[in-house]
Chain A
Amino acid sequence: MTELLGIPPQVLFGQMLIGLINGSFYALLSLGLAIIFGLLNIINFSHGAQYMLGAFAAWLGLQYFGVNYWVALVLAPVCVAAFGILLERTLLRRLYREDHLYGLLLTFGLALIIEGSFVHWFGVSGQPYAVPESLQGGQNLGFMFLPTYRGWIIVASLVVCFGTWYMIERTRLGAYLRAGTENPQLMQAFGINVPLLITLTYGYGVALAALAGVLAAPIYQVSPVMGSNLLITVFAVVVIGGMGSILGSILTGLLMGLIEGLTKVFYPEASSTVIFLVMIIILLVRPAGLFGKEA
């Protein structure tokens, strides 16, 4: 059997697949961040908390109302998005004209409040959420045992990510959105309700985070701090991809998952830092990010 860098190819394939699965989480989360930043100019630091809220909404729904996984997959993002829209209408809206820093501080503060409250109510060690029955078990792919649920994550997040990209870059609605951020006054003059468009965009970005949360619930513990552990990494992904670039954030998310996965094989101690290393290199070589346009 030939070996690549001292590791049998089957093992390597397995690790790359695992990397892709994690990468699809990064993609889903960084996509939401990129949309919100690209179209609203807000650095949404409560994204991690909103991801956690998605997972908790699914858990609470199942625990208290018997809402099953498939319904939660739709319902939880809608509920969390409604909460996001409320925040946008009451708080964020006031900051669009200010420096980025204000939006960052506000959303960071909100994240701390939300996470703190959930730690207070549910404790930090988290709650278990069972894998839905139809997705239990797994397939032996020859080179690895792939749990069905992990396979589902890749499919679901890729469909959502590329669907979103298509909607923003290739449809009329997407064109309105992009135009609305380029020149809101002109769009208003054409009779388009720009503030509503922006509110819905924020809601959609938040819904993406919540969807990632529901997808994550069965494989991680549903815990109040699950988002804060992930958020910084996801920000690094967005920076590498190019702030605000939709396609960039999706592809970079998958790529970073792969790189992290391979690091876990060759030098596991560095697996939590490798993405930041890549970020530093990219910032030195291409300050606007891999897919960003130079200002």
Chain B
Amino acid sequence: MTLTKKLLATAVMSAMAATSTLAQAGQYSDDEIRVAYLADMSGTYSALSGPGGLEAAKMAIEDIGGSINGKKITIVSADDQNKPDIGANKVRQWIDVDNIDMVAGMVASSVTIAVNKVVEQKNKISLVSGSAASSITNEYCTPNSIHWVYDTYALAHGTAKAVVQEGGKSWFMLTADYAFGHALERDVEKVVQENGGEIVDKVRHPFPTSDFSSFILQAQGSGAQVIGLANAGADTTNSLKTASEFGITQAGQKLAGLLIFLNDVHSLGLKVTQGLQLTTGFYWDRTEETRAWSQRYFERTGRMPTMVQAGVYSSLMHYFKAVQAADTDETQAVLQQMRDTPVNDFFAQNGKIRIDGRMVHDMYLAEVKKPADSTNEWDLYKVLRTIPGDEAYRPLSESQCKLVQK
């Protein structure tokens, strides 16, 4: 081969390479960035995610300017009714018919696991802010989903560890009977046992349940020092209320709410919840930035954000910035950009997205204030300590995720 031919061949090849990267940058499906918001919009989890989360998503769209690199952002939303089949079908339809690029929100863990399968098959992106089950980034991990706010592993390691170390050695678990409850129960049992405690007994209650008196009575009869509530939403508020009615704490037993949201404490009131320790991924009244963002959210919704609603904004913003930087809405390019960039905003400092899809950021151990210490309606928590992200979340060395190389 002559030198000229070699040169020519190289030139052609590099030109081809250049066109292919060019084809990716600036390429947008349908000439629009289409995002979707899926959550419980009317049921037991709608107060912690629901319409408030949709408002947070809209804030993110407005804050990025309504369009990225000249491409308009549109949003669709739906109520999954906490039913995996409804959620998965809706997302499949959104992808097939409406050509969405990604879905955010996602609450009930059972729904999320089902939706993530669809999202992986279709090579789109899901940013999970509402769900708790740590299995989402463990045995059910996918390369297309990112778990943003918290998980059962972090909750157990935050709250259960603190309670056991303070002397609460024997536990009675009250567990919601589905994926999330089981995951939380498993993670709590492990933490309790590792720290020298034991699980005396446990009850799995149907989801949702309205009357907890029978279960609280069983917990009382078990003689355990601590009653661990591995449930969420209305189930948790009803458990707490019944426990207070049956004089659980006066009789010397301690309650550990493993998953308590700001709206739960707000609606139950400080009288019932005071002194309760909990782990949260976000609290509005923690720093200047959290206050500033939450105040804006409050002006739109009349409520302070839960960690889930703040997470919806944070995750979408990170997505939008990645689209902006990669100049495309192509799934793998955006995911790569998201993983390469640390998350730095009001929600997380130096958050990083791991290969298993876990967004690792600092968590906070908080205590519910006494009524006398609270200065306003939303002044509910005292942050006791910051749990560094690497301590809060499951280390990759313990992961069963298929994407983690061992």
Interface, chain B (partner A; CB < 8 A):
42-44, 46-48, 50, 177, 203-206, 208-211, 213-215, 217-218, 220-221, 233-234, 237-238, 241-242, 245-247, 251, 263-264, 266-269, 272, 303
Contact = CB atoms under 8 A, between A and B. Distances in A.
Interface in A267-286: 268-273
A38 interface: no
Contacts of A126: 234, 237, 267
A178 B204 CA distance: 46
A19 B214 contact: yes
Contact of B217 (A15, A127, A269): A15
Which of A21, A127, A138, A220 is packed against the most chain B CB atoms within 10 Å? A220
A116 to B, nearest CB: 8
A217 B282 CA distance: 31
B247 A128 contact: no
Interface stretch (A143-151, A184-192, A201-209): A143-151
A138 B220 CA distance: 15
A269 B206 contact: yes
Contacts of B43: 124, 225
Interface in A121-141: 123-128, 131, 138
B217 A229 contact: no
6 contacts: A18-B213, A21-B213, A116-B42, A123-B46, A221-B238, A264-B218
Contact of B44 (A138, A147, A225, A268): A225
Interface of A: 11, 14-15, 18-19, 21-22, 116, 119, 123-128, 131, 138, 144-145, 147, 149-150, 219-221, 223, 225-226, 229-230, 261, 264-265, 268-273
A268 B245 contact: no
Nearest to B207: A272
Nearest to A224: B42
Contacts of B267: 123, 125-128, 221
Nearest to A264: B214
Contacts of A22: 211, 213
Given A265-B214, A271-B206, A124 B44 contact: yes
A226 B210 contact: yes
Contacts of B221: 11, 14
A219 B245 contact: yes
Given A18-B214, A150-B213, A221-B237, A128 B245 contact: no
B291 to A, nearest CB: 23
A150 B217 CA distance: 13
Contacts of A220: 210-211, 238, 241
Contacts of B206: 268-273
B381 to A, nearest CB: 17
A229 B42 contact: no
A217 to B, nearest CB: 11
Given A14-B217, A15-B214, A145-B246, A125 B241 contact: no
A229 B210 contact: yes
Contacts of A15: 214, 217-218
Contacts of A219: 241-242, 245
B303 to A, nearest CB: 8
A273 B241 CA distance: 24
Nearest to A150: B213
A11 B219 CA distance: 11
A221 B214 contact: no
Contacts of B251: 145
B130 to A, nearest CB: 14
Contacts of B263: 123, 125
Given A123-B47, A124-B44, A127-B267, A221 B241 contact: yes
A221 B241 CA distance: 8
Given A11-B218, A126-B237, A229-B208, 10 more contacts: A18-B213, A22-B213, A124-B50, A125-B47, A127-B267, A144-B217, A145-B220, A225-B44, A268-B204, A269-B206
Nearest to B237: A221
